Structure 1
Amino acid sequence: MVAFKHARDAADFGLAIQTLLFGTAWSPEIDDVYVALAQEAHEEMLLNEDPKKAAERRAREGGAAMHQWEDEVNYPLNWNGIRVRVGMHWGVGSVKFDPVSQGYDYYGTLVNTAARVEGVGNGGQVLATKDMYAQLEEEGFDFGAVDLKPMGPQPLRGLDQPVPLFQLCPLELRGREFAALRLDVENDLDDSTTASTTRGDGTDTNHSGVEETPELMLARLLKRQKDSGPMMEYLLRVVQFMETLLRTSPLSWRKETVKTLLKKWHVHARKPREKEAAEMTLTYDLTALVARAGLAAEEARRAGTTKSAGTRTDANSSVGRRLFHKRSSVSVVSIIPDETDAVASTR
């Protein structure tokens, strides 16, 4: 976490991250990976796109449009090497002295908001909340030195109301084109292993008052799906099948295997509860994993790409790679303050 006394210093820091990384000598293979992933994500978007929206997009583009990652001439003018996303927020937070590290740590809703802003951004993108923008205005920040784009109110995980966001880009990189904000990834299943929510003081509360079982967790993960009943019954059978399949192997191997799959599908591993058996913790993790893969398979099926088992496997792999792409090469810069300082958290 990094603290700034002035919002303008925090903004300069976030923008400098982009220009310095862009100006660094990187292996060309890095951009080759980004281009390949962009191509794959675009193809998947076309498969899943609503026909009406597809027609509107084609009319808006006026025929064949060249995407930035296809433009061999202009692409190197805007992109080079590792991409970092930046989220900035401003306000009054809770600051506590840590006697162990002999430093200060930051807590509360402001820290969470900053992290959520970062989470919806794309690599190479700098986002700021309305509060951060207002503070920059008050400090006389030179917005003429950056390319500014209002993004409108955006729903952020864990916050009651949508938060207006602004995109800031260094003028020399204003030609960058970004994908849509990653709202689906940030808001979908990040909290898939717990029904609790975190209060501003960092403690967990369970709104239902009922101890969540793997079955209840699965029902919660599927609550936004139409006709979730049959899907839940099917996925519960899949969980049972997976448990049976893995049971012949040692627990240590099972835990490591599921841990690897959780990482690849970007599902948070469950934190073992007090006196919770390791087998039960593994069941929770396996249920969350099956839910993620099941939703991906359902998305592919609705897109008409599951006419055969082989096609379904390919579609699931594509979705998994897209989710991995959206989670890879990540660094956070989230700006928040206490009474006198702003804070940037980096991950």
Structure 2
Amino acid sequence: MNLNCNLLSISNDLPYEARSFRFIEFFEAHLSSSLSLLDDDIKSFALQSALAGGKRIRPLLVFHFAGRSDVLNDSTLKASVILEIVHLASLIHDDILDGAEIRRNLPSMHEAIGSHAAVLLGDALFGFALELASQFPTTRVCSIVSEATRKTCSGEIRQTFARGRSDLSLDEYLSFINDKTGELFRASCQIGAYLSGADQDTIDLAGEFGLSLGINYQVFDDLIDSFEDPDNSDKSLGSDWETGKMTLPVILLRNVATVDEVEVIDHLIRSGRDNKPEGNIRSQTLQLFEKYEILPKCIQYFEDSFSRTQSLIDQFPNIHLRDDLNAFIQSFTLKFTKLSNLKTSNFLAL
């Protein structure tokens, strides 16, 4: 499974984009090689899911926090693969829970092989990730991955239990996404910092940065689900609404709406996928989004939160790490420019 480490060179003289691209090339090869060790009956499905694409955010975070080196350490690659496999497993399960039909412009795994098999495939990938983590000479890596996996599932479970609960508070919403998305970001940064030999204060700060970034990433994803044009997306949209999942746009709207208006919003949330609300309810809710300028308020909330994430970078003592994280954040900033093209709303007007 191991690649020839003599070939895994990434010159520090290369610009940020070139170094990151070279790492991702090595990562993709290592991911494919690792998944090829799975049982024959599930190997092809795991490879199909993993190699269909992806932003590889968690592997890149491990890479940056692991530190610059002319030769890429096998431990960095292995940790990156472990965290991406956990993420992949969570996506397979999420698509089942949300009834999402598309993932990365392809049929979601439960659409391709059935929900029963897809659940078990996700379970197998969780188990495989922990198996790989246990192979490190220290239990620290396995401990961080296990905790992040547990909290990721816990956050999803708590959010599932809260579906259709229209009185969900902003703090409760943030606690859900803190676990379901933030914890894997935190684990990626902490493991990378640990592998670099960083002290505990730096490892803790790395975790704080990762958690903050992960929360912002989930808020962004929730805004896309509510406001993106379906023609511009590579996955199913509107699933949060259809499953009665409360996210930032609806929470902010309920906080400013009148009692009568809240009844309209709650009717839409409670309707869910199985009981489509009549057209006038959708139309009324759309008007409320526009009346209270919820999309601009969501964007402002996101920008304020993201500024805090950026400010954490200055606290790292290593100048090279700060440079890499600022470059990494810049790629996020470009991605987040999509917010300026959103409109109210992608599905309420249907």
Structure index of larger Rg? 1
Mark yes or no: TM-score above 0.5.
no
Greater fraction of residues in helix: 2
Higher RCO by CA contacts (8 Å cutoff, separation 6 or greater): 1
TM-score computed with the length of structure 1 as normaliser = 0.30
